[in-house]
Amino acid sequence: MHIEIERRFLVSPVALSWCRDGTDIEQGYLRADGRTTVRVRIADGTGVVTIKGPRCGCSRFEHETPVSLNAARALLNRIPPHMKVRKTRYEVEVGGLIWEIDVFADLNAGLILAEVEIDDPDQAIVVPHWVSREVTWDARYSNSQLARRPHSQWTMAA
């Protein structure tokens, strides 16, 4: 169990020129009530169940438990499509930190987000030029919300 401290940003497609060897990810949500999130993920042929607590700024409790690929598939198969997200993740090093760039698929196609984990909420970071704006505090950009209300279904005023 640890505290995840993470900032999230919208990304310009220009960033894709730095992206190599992505990992396809499928994840679904067993629970996402705004306080606790329980996620099942398959990435690189590996299954994991993650429990996340409520967000406090850019921090939240997180606990991951590896599960067999068969168990992860069985759980994902029980989750309705409107509670799943598919994306390809790329890792890019900038300013000594690893930025995870997620290129979304399906009803979130066209959305590109970057996340960077830091050690302290006040830690200064080098923001790459391909970042357009920070969305850390905009709950619509959380993966669990993108599963329920995909980016393609947002109105222009949203």
- Listed by start position, the domains of the chain span 2-153
Positive or negative: CA dihedral 11, 60, 29, 26: positive
pLDDT at 33: 87
CA dist 11 and 110 (Å) reads: 10
pLDDT (tens, 9 = 90+) of the chain, 158 residues, equals 799 999 999 999 999 898 889 999 999 999 988 789 999 999 999 999 999 999 888 999 999 999 999 999 999 999 998 899 999 999 999 999 999 999 999 999 999 999 999 999 999 999 999 999 999 999 999 999 999 999 999 975 44
Q: How many CB atoms lie within 10 A of CB 93?
A: 9
CB proximity list for 112: less than 8 A, separation 6 or greater? 10, 11, 12, 13, 15, 16, 101, 102, 103, 104
pLDDT of residue 56: 87
Residue 90 a catalytic site member:
no
Question: Which CATH class name applies to 2-153?
Answer: mainly beta
Which residue of the set 9, 29, 104, 141 is catalytic? Answer: 29
What's the pLDDT at 45?
94
